[in-house]
Amino acid sequence: MPVNETERRTEPVQLETKTSGGPQARTETETVIRLSGVDIHYGKVHAVRDVSLPVERNRITAMIGPSGCGKSTVLRSINRMNDLIPGAKVTGEITYHGKDIYGSGVDPIAVRRHIGMVFQKANPFPKSIYDNVAYGLRINGMTDGLADRVERALRRAALWDEVKDNLKKSALALSGGQQQRLCIARAIAVEPEVLLMDEPCSALDPIATARIEELMNELVEDYTIVIVTHNMQQAARVSDSTAFYSADVDSAGERYGFLVEFDDTQRLFSNPSDSRTEDYITGRFG
């Protein structure tokens, strides 16, 4: 890692929160993250326009919609992953426990420490199973009781019993479903409060998908989860709240994504307030 990135970890301005991160006891509804009037640009392209929604503690929030409507773009903005894309710019406000994560002096590395992410395609490092989980812990200086932390993360990701006798084995030798659970273990090892999941089951078979969905339902007891999925049935099965996005073309011929409707999942699927949502859910979209 470049020296300047390491130095940034020691800057005095840190991302302050109301909680310490990691497993949290379920309490009354609390907004952990709030998006207010969020616009996202890639250079001159206005990719996403005017998104506002809350993400509530210990709930699964799903983002659904057709390809190209900005779901993943919005998801990546929540932990500043878009910072890594040249020309990307986020305006509006995204707060974490009331603090603007794009505010002056906020370290994006600190943001990602509290708001972890699991990607569409399992991306284990070409290292051992143990070293994959330990990687983030070492980078963040969380080496006290390292072996116990690794075991705890693997247990929480429902993978420990399958790999405990082969921790030195290459992570690349695991099945696709196991690799995705390993990536979840790697993400939660550093004890974030929020877990972002970008289509985590899209490359998995039905059995592995069911296991990941079961795991999400277990993890939400202690974590706040936001998931992007193209699978409406999956959103209906696992989420508490759902955001439906769509896309349009502006007067200049540029395609952009926007939030159509956000509501309790059961209500959105059974009685949507916008006809575009109903058309998408019933297959009449487009």
**Confidence band of 29 (pLDDT split at 50, 70, 90):** confident
Q: Which two tokens stand for residue 69?
A: 């409507």
Q: Give the global pTM.
A: 0.88
pLDDT of res. 252: 83
Give per-residue pLDDT as tens, 151-169.
Answer: 999 999 999 999 999 999 9
Going by the DSSP 8-state scheme, the letter that residue 21 receives in this structure is S
Indicate if the pLDDT at residue 18 is higher than 80: no
Indicate if the pLDDT at residue 285 is higher than 90: no
Q: In what order do the strands lie in the sheet with 194-198?
A: 99-100, 88-96, 31-42, 45-56, 255-264, 241-249, 60-64, 224-228, 194-198, 115-118
**Confidence band of 15 (pLDDT split at 50, 70, 90):** low
Domains of the chain: 31-281 (3.40.50.300)
Give per-residue pLDDT as tens, 182-220.
Answer: 999 999 999 999 999 999 998 888 999 999 999 999 999
